[in-house]
């Protein structure tokens, strides 16, 4: 069925980071994992020829697709344009105004994986089922101490619970990508630890992992104003300063960020 649609619409993919998911079982699994009902308004990013869209429309109350390719917008309108529960928006999902939605289900273009994920997390939703490059997905779910653990791991896990649902081979796509893929389930949560200043917390994480092979003392030193640096560094415990970024959990980073903020205030008072 899916291959027939590719032929019918003379779609080959390859441009605009397009790799169309053609594995019927995986398409069904994605739709099932979203746990959809008539009360759900689903946002799909990169609808392609509607392989996934068709399944979402069977269960959701409404589906809105953001599609970058004008030709594929025409294809989607040809297939579903006469339905009241369907809408397609032509544009870049990183830039266009996002419509109302409570769930996100998509085979994401891998080139926008990071910016669109954080845009969605800041926007807010109930549940997301998203396709990523497998290596990117592993970084999202990794724990401290593993080689994949990094800035992405800490930031994602700060905002949401994240799980890999299934790993997918290149043969499930047309044209076939050069990498394996994975379906991720994201469910936003209230942070289980206190973060007094989210911007500073994320800045500290970025600084730490920008020099991940060096001790935290070096990264923190480079991220502090010169007038505060000496006071703060002398008050931070050596047991923390001698660690490397991958040794700290997201909660450890939060505690460290909060403590540095306290020291910054004291440095100003002194």
pLDDT single digits (tens) 163-175 = 999 999 999 998 8
Tokens of 145: 């101490």
pLDDT > 80? residue 125: yes
Share of the chain above pLDDT 90, in %: 73
**CATH code at 2-188:** 3.40.50.150
Compute the distance between CA of residue 91 and CA of residue 116 in angstroms, rounded to an integer.
13
pLDDT single digits (tens) 228-245 = 788 888 888 888 888 999
CATH topology for 198-269?
Helicase, Ruva Protein; domain 3 (1.10.8)
Q: Determine the average pLDDT of the residues in 138-152.
A: 95
- Domain parsing of the chain, residue ranges: 2-188, 198-269
Lowest-confidence segment of 29-33, 119-123, 191-195, 225-229 by average pLDDT: 225-229
pLDDT > 80? residue 15: no
pLDDT single digits (tens) 62-87 = 999 999 999 999 999 999 999 999 99
Would you give the distance in Å from CA 126 to the centre of its chain?
14
> Is 268 or 199 the better-scoring residue by pLDDT?
199
Tokens of 86: 């369907």
pLDDT single digits (tens) 210-226 = 887 788 888 888 777 77
pLDDT > 70? residue 9: no
Residues in the chain: 270
The pLDDT-based confidence of 42 (bands split at 50, 70, 90) is very high
Residue whose C-alpha is closest to residue 66's, from 37, 87, 80? 87
**What letter would DSSP give residue 190?**
-
Residue whose C-alpha is closest to residue 87's, from 108, 60, 110? 60
2-188 matches 198-269 in fold: no
What's the predicted TM-score (pTM) here? 0.89
219 close to 245: Cβ distance less than 8 angstroms: yes
pLDDT at res. 217:
86
β-bridge mates for residue 43, sequence order: 64, 104
| Residues 14, 19, 24, 26, Cα dihedral to 10° | 170
């Amino acid at each position: 069925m899916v291959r027939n649609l590719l032929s019918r619409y003379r779609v080959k993919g390859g441009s605009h980071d397009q790799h169309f998911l053609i594995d019927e079982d995986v398409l069904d699994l994605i739709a099932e994992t979203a746990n959809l009902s008539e009360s759900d308004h689903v946002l799909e990013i990169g609808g392609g020829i509607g392989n996934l869209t068709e399944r979402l429309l069977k269960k959701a109350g409404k589906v809105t697709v953001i599609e970058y390719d004008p030709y594929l917008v025409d294809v989607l309108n040809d297939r579903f344009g006469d339905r009241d529960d369907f809408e397609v928006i032509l544009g870049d999902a990183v830039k266009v105004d996002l419509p109302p939605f409570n769930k996100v289900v998509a085979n994401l273009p891998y080139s926008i994986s990071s910016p669109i994920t954080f845009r969605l997390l800041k926007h807010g939703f109930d549940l997301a089922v998203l396709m990523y490059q497998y290596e990117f997905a592993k970084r999202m779910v990794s724990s401290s101490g593993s080689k994949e653990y990094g800035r992405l791991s800490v930031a994602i896990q700060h905002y949401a619970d994240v799980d890999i649902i299934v790993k997918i081979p290149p043969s499930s796509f047309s044209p076939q990508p050069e990498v394996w893929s994975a379906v991720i389930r994201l469910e936003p949560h209230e942070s289980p630890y206190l973060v007094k200043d989210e911007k500073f917390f994320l800045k500290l994480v970025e600084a730490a992992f920008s020099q991940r092979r060096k001790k935290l003392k070096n990264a923190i030193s480079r991220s502090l104003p010169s007038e505060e640096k000496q006071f703060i560094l002398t008050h931070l415990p050596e047991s923390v300063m001698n660690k490397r970024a991958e040794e700290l959990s997201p909660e450890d980073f939060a505690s460290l960020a909060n403590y540095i903020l306290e020291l910054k205030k004291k440095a100003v008072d002194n």
